Amino acid sequence: MIFFLNFILITGQRSKATDATVHYSFDYSQQVFYPQQAQAVGPMYFKTPRKCQCFGVCCESSGTQIFYLVDEAFQSVGKGANSVTSMLHHHFSHLGYGERNVVLHMDNCSGQNKNNAVIGYGMWRVLTGLHDSIEFSTMEAGHTKFSPDWHFGLWKVRWRNTTVNTLEDVVETVRLSSRNGHNIPHLVQDPENPVQFYNWTEFLKPVFKPIPNLLSYHHFRMTSDKPGIVYVRRYASDAEEAVKILKKDSFVLNGMPPKLEPLGLSAERQWYLHDEIAPLCNSLCASTCPRPDVPKPTK
Ligand SMILES: *[C@@H]1O[C@H](CO)[C@@H](O)[C@H](O)[C@H]1NC(C)=O
Ligand SMILES: *[C@@H]1O[C@H](CO)[C@@H](O)[C@H](O)[C@H]1NC(C)=O
Ligand SMILES: *[C@@H]1O[C@H](CO)[C@@H](O)[C@H](O)[C@H]1NC(C)=O
């Protein structure tokens, strides 16, 4: 098999590299709306305030969870495969442990296309030497404990009880939701360590094909010594089957995917926030519902 790798290795991970297999779990929580008044059902109830999505990556061994916070102005990439893989990529590049072998636990609700893209991304990591082995596991029926939900639950308790005016306040609700600092907020537009979104699906599509009947399997394993092969199992106790996901035996994996830049809020949304939401909160939420500098759309 010939393949050509011309890839810039991300440095700074290796120094922390660990031989142990590290387990991470990831998922989205329900999105939140802000500004909000603590424990109050007021006039805001009938409105649609500014949205913030949250994607959690939990490290099972440290018991900490990174909360990626995606403000509405950064949501144009959506909640699909490109967002998930971009945030996982940021996590491995900047916030992971630099481990060589990883198990990633995920929910079984995310669907075939998203899971195929995430598995393709895992294969890309293995082929480019960023990991030696990666296993993806979705929850088997009867296993009810999923760590991200536990961390999200702590946050939800804090959230309900807090008045939130700005995105900085959202960040604080995450930080303060765990007394021992196990919930760690990370804004995607963090000035020092921003998340770059990429079109991973476009990048991986020419190289990998989808796994047939993906949703019937719970476990997917890939290693650098078996390039392009995913070992799938329905249940942990089943024997593995090998599935080749390479489209061709010769391929090029060059550089990084095309970048996706956030589109910001539409003019309509900006004016809605300004006209409908700003009057319901005080000057503290000025940065959440600012006066738009785009013309108001005419209906
Ligand atoms: C909610 O907030 C109030 C007032 O700040 C505080 O007294 C109470 O302990 C909080 N409850 C929870 C569950 O955090
Ligand atoms: C990503 O690439 C796909 C396939 O080329 C394309 O259809 C899609 O529009 C791209 N996504 C974005 C947000 O540009
Ligand atoms: C995962 O979820 C899908 C759709 O919700 C379902 O059809 C499938 O049977 C589930 N797979 C497993 C292995 O539980």
Residue with the smallest CA separation from ligand 1 atom 8 is: 161
Is the per-residue pLDDT at 109 higher than 90? no
Amino acid at residue number 40: A
Q: Please give the number of the atom of ligand 2 that sits closest to the Cα of 205.
A: 4
Q: Atom 9, ligand 1: which residue's CA is nearest?
A: 161
Atom from ligand 3 closest to the CA of residue 216: 13
pLDDT score of 3: 44
Residue 201 neighbours by CB distance under 10 Å: 18
Reported as a pLDDT band with limits 50, 70 and 90, residue 38 is: confident
C-beta separation of 85 from 48 below 8 A? no
Q: Is the pLDDT of residue 110 over 80?
A: no
Alpha helices in 181-235 (DSSP H): 200-204
Within 13 Å, how many C-alpha atoms sit on residue 16's CB side? 13
Mean pLDDT of all residues in the chain? Answer: 89
Sign of the Cα pseudo-torsion (174, 71, 195, 129, in order): positive
216 CB under 6 A from ligand 3?
A: yes
- Torsion region of 63: left, alpha or beta (phi above 0 gives left; psi -120 to 50 gives alpha): left
11 has pLDDT over 60: no
Summarised one tens digit per residue, pLDDT across range 256-294 is: 999 999 999 999 999 999 999 999 888 888 999 999 999
Percent of the chain with pLDDT over 70: 91
Mean pLDDT of 154-182: 96
Q: 110: CA distance to ligand 3 center in Å?
A: 10
Query: Are 296 and 275 spatial neighbours (Cβ–Cβ below 8 Å)?
Result: no
Residue 9 has pLDDT above 60, yes or no: no
Q: Which ligand is nearest to the CA of 161?
A: 1
Torsion of CA 246, 28, 257, 111, to 10 degrees: 30
Specify the pairing of strand 133-138 against strand 21-28: unpaired
Q: Whose C-alpha lies nearest to ligand 3, atom 13?
A: 216
Q: Confidence band (pLDDT; 50, 70, 90) for 107?
A: confident
Indicate whether 96 pLDDT > 80: yes
Distance (Å, whole) CA 287 – CA 168: 10
Q: How distant is the alpha carbon of residue 152 from its chain centre?
A: 14
The verdict on the CB of residue 218 being under 6 Å from ligand 3 is yes
Q: Is the pLDDT of residue 57 over 90?
A: yes
Q: What is the pLDDT of residue 23?
A: 94
Residue-range domain boundaries for the chain: 4-264, 266-299
Closest CA to 115 of 284, 256, 245: 245
Q: Which of 161, 176, 177 to mutate to test the pocket of ligand 1 (most atoms within 8 A of CB)?
A: 161
User: From the CA of 202, how far away is ligand 2's center (Å)?
Assistant: 6
| 219 Cβ closer than 6 Å to some ligand 3 atom | no
Q: Which residue has the least CA distance to atom 11 on ligand 2?
A: 199
Phi then psi for residue 113, to 5 deg, are -65, -45
pLDDT in tens, 194-220: 999 999 999 999 999 999 999 899 999
Distance, in Å, from the CA atom of 288 to the CA atom of 279, rounded to the nearest integer, reads 12
Instruction: Work out the percent of the chain whose per-residue pLDDT is above 90.
Output: 73
Helices (H), ranges, the chain: 81-90, 112-127, 147-160, 167-175, 200-204, 267-272
DSSP label at residue 133 = E
Check pocket membership of 161 for ligand 1, CB cut-off 6 A: yes
Cβ neighbours of residue 73 closer than 8 Å, sequence gap 6 or more: 262, 264, 265
Query: Which of 116, 201, 207 most suits a substitution to test ligand 2, by most atoms within 8 Å of the C-beta?
Result: 201
Enumerate residues lining ligand 2, CB below 6 A: 199, 201-202, 260
Assess whether pLDDT exceeds 90 at residue 90. Answer: yes
Cβ atoms of 83 and 114 closer than 8 Å: no
Q: How far is the CA of 4 from the centre of ligand 2 (A)?
A: 24
Confidence of residue 132 (pLDDT cuts 50, 70, 90): very high
Rounded to the nearest 5°, which phi and psi values hold at 153? -60, -45
**Structure token digits, residue 104:** 């990633």
